[in-house]
Each structure stands twice: as structure tokens, then as C-alpha cells.
Amino acid sequence: MEIKGDELLQTIQRAKDGNQLAFNILLDNFWNSVHNYQLKKLQNDNDAEDITIQTFSKAFDKLDTYNKKYKFKTWLITISKNIHIDNLRKKKSSIKAEPYKEKDNEIYHVADASPTPEDKIITEQNLAKLLKDIKQLKPKYQEIINLRYFQELSYKEISDKIGEPMNNVKVKILRARKLLAEIIKKS
């Protein structure tokens, strides 16, 4: 159920002021709309999810440019559409530049989760259950959770490590936390 009207405008304003909860509310309320839009275009869940993450990253970064004359959902979809077009242009130019290069399957490496002394204490408090729940996430979310919460890297360090903009990292962490919370609630 999407928030609308004054409640939406107030949430956007709180997000502009840096309120993390407001960002979470916007992400939760509009994720499915943007993701479903991209899923219909791409017919690939991973690509749709990547573009959705980029969309929220860019939207949160440029939130001050949002004009309340337009629907927030339409603004997000427009950003998403433009990111998709940009990706197609980049792909097209890279195909022309490197015609003989084959696209390799990407393999996601999850960093070693060997327990540290702190982890051993957590293990006593159901770490095994938590790790089992984390493993239900997609590999890219497993990696981001591991880097942030187990290796305790900053957003900047994670950004450098995975080669993505810091805003993408923040959105991925938000999304991973939301998905993990849903898994934990179900079990």
C-alpha cells in the first residue's frame, strides 16, 4: 500500500532532511512499482533488481530536485527508465568497441565468514540461525551484509571494495536488511 498525499510529501521532506526512517519508508513503498516496471522490460530479475537499486540510489541522491507537481512514483519510474536507456547505450558502445569479447558468467564470491571472538559470543545467541537466514538471500545481498555487519566496513570501504557508488551500497544494504527481516519473520 503506497503512501500518498500529505503523508508522502512529509516523508519526502523528512528524507530530504536526512531521516533514515523516511528513506526506508520510501524504499518500502515504491520498491515493487519500480522493480515490476523493470521486470516487465527486462524479463530478468537480477537486471531488474540492479536497475531498481540504481534508481533509488540516484533518486535519494537527487531528492532535492523532486518537484511535487508530479507524482513521486512517476518521478521514480522516469529515473528508472533513463537508467535503463543509459545502460543500453553503454552496452551498445562496449559491443562496438570489443566485438570479440564474450560475456562471462559472473561468479559471486562471498567473503569468508570464519567466526572471530565477537562472532563466537553471537554464535551462542543464535548466530547459526542468523547465518542460515542470510544464506537464503541472493549472493550479492549476502556479500553486502557480510561486508557491513561482519567485517564492519564503512559505506565508503564497501563502495571501493565492490566498485559501486556509495548510494548504491546504501540502497543495497537497506534492501538486504528488509529482505533478511522478512526471512526472519517467516521462520
pLDDT in tens, 63-102: 999 988 889 999 999 999 999 998 888 887 766 655 444 4
- Helix (H) / strand (E) containing 33: helix 20-42
Q: In the CATH scheme, what is the code of domain 117-186?
A: 1.10.10.10
Q: Say whether pLDDT at 130 is over 90.
A: no
Provide the mean pLDDT of the chain.
83
H, E, C per residue of 57-124: HHHHHCHHHCCCCCCHHHHHHHHHHHHHHHHHHHHHHHHHHCCCCCCCCCCCCCCCCCCCHHHHHHHH
Question: Tens of pLDDT along 157-175?
Answer: 999 999 988 888 888 888 8
Query: 5-97 has which fold?
Result: Rna Polymerase Sigma Factor; Chain: A (1.10.1740)
Q: Say whether pLDDT at 46 is over 50.
A: yes
DSSP class of residue 137? S
What ranges do the domains of the chain cover?
A: 5-97, 117-186
